[in-house]
Chains A and B, each alone.
Chain A
Amino acid sequence: MFNLKFSRIALLGGTMLLASPLVAQDSGALIDLLVKKGIVTDQEAENLRADLSRDFANNTSAGKLDLSSTDVSFKLSGDLRMRYEYNDQVPELATGAAALNNETSRQRFRFRLNGDVLLQKGWSAGFALETAQTSDSANQTFTGAADDYGIFLARAYIGWQPNLNWNFVLGKQKNPMYATDMRWDPDISPQGASEIYKYFTGAKDTFEIRAMQHIMQDNNEQVAGPLGRDTWLFEQQAVYTHWFSPENLSNAIFALGYSAYNQSNIPSTATVTPTNSPINSAAYVGSVRAQDYLTFAGEVNWANVRGEGTGFKVYWDSSYNTTGATRAYRVYGLNPALFSKGSTAWLAGIGYSYGTGKVQGDYSAKLDYRSVGVTATDPNTNDSDWALSKLNEKGWKLALSYNVNDFTNFNVTYFDTQILQKGMTFSLGNLDKSQELLVDLVVKF
């Protein structure tokens, strides 16, 4: 039965529910309670539910979506980046390298849209759409006559996480490996399969085994020999994470790995020229063996070093190709007498940050130095920006970022590199020096 007190409670409850359509979908339990307590009748409750549901449907975009009941969540996200890019590259002309258009400036943009669906029973699926078709860059240069531009499918994956320990992903996916851009361009979404096993020892330590089988090139099996075999990159890592204290987010990560290709039949002549251009946007066809990389990467993060929210980090990466000399000679056709520093690559960097990069006023600065031998990393996967994707270079990368607001970043990145070992005639390693400046405005949604 209604009384004054209950009437006021019901009115207050109803007003609260109606005040925001967003809570309409959560109001069922409260309405049920009002009915059970006899504050409103079943029919009054139904009228209230219908009003709330109508309000939700008419005034929110979510109310117009009809997602499958198997979806636990469906997240749409993405970003739009406007970029000014300037680079100046000087080839080592003494080696016979072609003269380049030394200075280039471009206005570019990148659009990415991600859809990630979390399904029941630990399953997930997702996609990503982005401008530009090359695997290592979604940048689209503003070209002539107000051209329109294409959209490409950059990710399409199915995931299954049966429990906290195991995670399996099939398809074109986010890179599951721990690495810096010295070895893996962050724009690349590997394709194939990946498996991660996580072992937790207490609250402070996590040990992971990560493995990935990446389809580098699908070849026509009708062709005899190595050119007819599919090319796979197999990479596996042991990653150890230690949290110094659960409270202050300071941690250390160490990742030890090994990666190799499956192709084994290397032509015996020293004059092999790969069919495709040796840059990372196009994979080698056929003779890609002699890439057996031992890798070690990691970082140490100190949180709240100069007050709440500040952080200082040291990070590194390294790679050693155990068959580097063979690769230099047989694949690149380099004179072994000139080849001495080519099998090793290393990177060391420091960073300082305030905040997480998600709130207005957050900022970060990172500076690293790297030296990359001509056979030390995979030219199919290294960063396309640093030294313009060339190998046999050493130099700096400086990256600054500032949050204009919670969803907009202003970034400046500068690269300065020079040749590591002179006299290499192969086009992959004959860049005498380079500079590049990237100025970005990124809006995330």
Chain B
Amino acid sequence: MKKSTLLFLATLVAAVVARADGKLVIKGSDTLGAKLVPQLAEAYKAKNPGVSFEIAAEGSTTGIAAIIDGTAQIGMSSRRAKPTEMSAGTAKGVTLKPTIVAFDGIGIIVSAANPLAKLTQRQVEQIFAGDIADWSAVGGTPGKISIYTRNTSSGTYSDFKALAMKNRDYASSSQKMAGNEQIAAEVAKNPSGIGYVGLAYINDPGVKVVAVDGKTPTPATVLDHSYPYARPTFYYTNGEPTGEAAKFLEFTLSDEGQKIVRDVGFVSPPKS
């Protein structure tokens, strides 16, 4: 038998062993990975004691990249894969397959001390793009607006640009935060602050959600797409998932999994 054949078989066996130990590697979106997926993992482990999880929530970009590189079985993403990512996957023999696991609404939050209650879509775009820099321009208490956004590896960062800003750039003065919780915390202590967070974080202490064109993010407005900043969130896999990844995906979409989805603050996708 040739050396190369032996090497291939050894690699195959090692791979099978790695999967057989029941470890599930999940990487990607902070929106999904900060609260929802860890809770799903805990519930899943309770029913499947032999399974362990490695969860890294460092942004959707890292999740999709991990599927392309083969370093994770599930990539969490709060945005769709870009054509260049699709192309990169194809080049490596990877077919990026999205599965909707929950819906989210990106809520616009301000400090609870801020009297502002509503904005228009145009005003949201102008504030985050830097065209409007003072609260008085949108009917608020005069003062410089402090903008908090996610960092550039975040799916929410690019989703918000697409959904709310016509893909314009954020104001150069905007401050980039690592996660939803950080944004909520900063806005809570800054009466001049404004930011955006996923549905799961709109009730964080010290912040309040602002209506956009008269709509606030609720399960109903997210599902019927009437809230302008609603979006699906995904598990990305390499083609149809197999093994533990398939089982975990199935669990996520089950009634038990979707109850956790709702409890955390997301919206369950409608049943087909």
Closest to B97 in A: A50
Q: Is the C-beta of B221 less than 8 angstroms from some C-beta in chain A?
A: no
CB distance from B157 to the nearest CB of A (A): 11
Q: Is the C-beta of A65 less than 8 angstroms from some C-beta in chain B?
A: yes
How many residues of A are in contact with the other chain, CB < 8 A? 25
Bound state CA distance, A50 and B234, in angstroms? 12
Closest to A70 in B: B169
Q: Is the CB of A43 within 8 A of B272?
A: yes
From DSSP, what is the main secondary structure of chain B's interface residues?
Answer: mixed
B83 contact from A47, A56, A69, Cβ within 8 A: A56
Q: Given that A43-B269, A50-B97 are known contacts, is A63 also in contact with B225, CB under 8 Å in the complex?
A: no
CB distance from A31 to the nearest CB of B (A): 11
A-facing residues in B195-232 (Cβ within 8 Å): 225, 232
Q: Is the C-beta of A64 less than 8 angstroms from some C-beta in chain B?
A: yes
Q: Is the CB of A53 within 8 A of B81?
A: yes
Q: Given that A54-B86, A57-B90, A64-B87 are known contacts, is A43 also in contact with B81, CB under 8 Å in the complex?
A: no
Scan B81-109; emit 1 where CB is below 8 A from any A CB, else 0.
11111110010000111111001000000
From DSSP, what is the main secondary structure of chain A's interface residues?
Answer: helix
Tell me which residues across on chain A come within 8 A of B259, comparing CB atoms: none
Closest to B87 in A: A57
Tell me which residues across on chain B come within 8 A of A57, comparing CB atoms: 83-87, 90
Q: Is the C-beta of B136 less than 8 angstroms from some C-beta in chain A?
A: no
Closest to A66 in B: B84
Q: Is the C-beta of B120 less than 8 angstroms from some C-beta in chain A?
A: no
Closest to A60 in B: B83
Range class of the B interface residue count? 20 to 34
Q: Is the CB of A50 within 8 A of B98?
A: yes
Q: Is the CB of B100 within 8 A of A50?
A: no
Tell me which residues across on chain B come within 8 A of A56, comparing CB atoms: 83, 86
Bound state CA distance, A49 and B231, in angstroms? 14
Tell me which residues across on chain A come within 8 A of B87, comparing CB atoms: 57-58, 63-64
B232 contact from A42, A66, A120, Cβ within 8 A: A42
Closest to B103 in A: A42
Q: Is the CB of A65 within 8 A of B84?
A: yes
Bound state CA distance, A42 and B83, in angstroms? 20
Q: Is the C-beta of A165 less than 8 angstroms from some C-beta in chain B?
A: no
Q: Given that A36-B225, A69-B169, A120-B168 are known contacts, is A50 also in contact with B81, CB under 8 Å in the complex?
A: yes
CB distance from A45 to the nearest CB of B (A): 9
A120 contact from B84, B98, B169, B225, Cβ within 8 A: B169
Q: Is the C-beta of B11 less than 8 angstroms from some C-beta in chain A?
A: no
Q: Is the C-beta of B48 less than 8 angstroms from some C-beta in chain A?
A: no
Q: Given that A53-B81, A57-B86, A58-B87 are known contacts, is A46 also in contact with B98, CB under 8 Å in the complex?
A: yes
Bound state CA distance, A66 and B86, in angstroms? 12
Tell me which residues across on chain A come within 8 A of B167, comparing CB atoms: 69
Tell me which residues across on chain A come within 8 A of B85, comparing CB atoms: 57
Q: Is the CB of A63 within 8 A of B84?
A: yes
Bound state CA distance, A46 and B103, in angstroms? 13
Q: Which residues of chain A have a CB within 8 Å of any CB of chain B?
A: 24-25, 32, 35-36, 41-44, 46-47, 49-50, 53-54, 56-58, 63-66, 69-70, 120
The 9 closest A-B pairs by CB, nearest first: A57-B87, A57-B83, A57-B86, A63-B83, A66-B84, A54-B86, A41-B272, A46-B98, A64-B87
New contact pairs (9) apart from A42-B270, A50-B81, A54-B96, CB-CB < 8 Å: A42-B232, A46-B80, A50-B80, A50-B98, A53-B83, A54-B86, A54-B95, A58-B87, A64-B87
